[in-house]
Structure 1
């Protein structure tokens, strides 16, 4: 499998690029290349789903939200007692 990472130019100005930064970039790439769901990508990135969606929007990455994502979100809400 080949994964292409498109890193923002601002990273070249960063002295330290942490493991969490790399995981977030990998999550962006996997999601953008439709290899993982939105929910799975947010878990890889180590951020809450809504925060991950905001990060995607900041990067101009389209959110492809499908039935599987919806079902996972509904289950997560049920697990938390919100439904």
Structure 2
């Protein structure tokens, strides 16, 4: 599913398309609608970059058991553990 945001909204916000996307993803992350890994991926940042962006905004990182399990699976796939 794609969402079309009118140019008028983008102009009114004074943000670029990427900035608006970052704001939306951070909002979804804060509301625990998406995890940190997915959020970072959606804004084309690595995890450390996204965490840095959150730190700048003084937003705490919520790291759930499911996040840990996903990280372990990904590390296993990469042969890191």
Q: TM-score, normalised by structure 2?
A: 0.71
Name structure 2 gaps, 5 residues minimum. Answer: 1-13
> How far apart, in 2, do the equivalents of 1:19 and 1:74 lie?
33
Question: How big is each residue's C-alpha offset from its partner over 1:38-79, in whole Å with a ceiling of 9 and x where there is no partner?
Answer: 111112221111211111111100111000111111122222
Which residue of 1 is the match for residue 33 of structure 2? 35
Superposition deviation, residue 24 in structure 1: 1.4
Pairwise CA distance, 1:20: 2.2
Indicate the structure whose relative CO is greater, using CA pairs within 8 Å and at least 6 residues apart.
1
Give the length in aligned residue pairs: 68
The runs of 5 or more residues in structure 1 that have no matched partner are 1-14
Q: Which has the larger radius of gyration?
A: 2
In structure 2, distance between residues paired with 1:51 and 1:76: 19
Superposed, 1:1-83 pairs within 5 Å as: 17-83=15-81
Partner Cα distance (2:19, 2:74) in 1: 25
1:18–1:65 Cα change, 3 Å? same
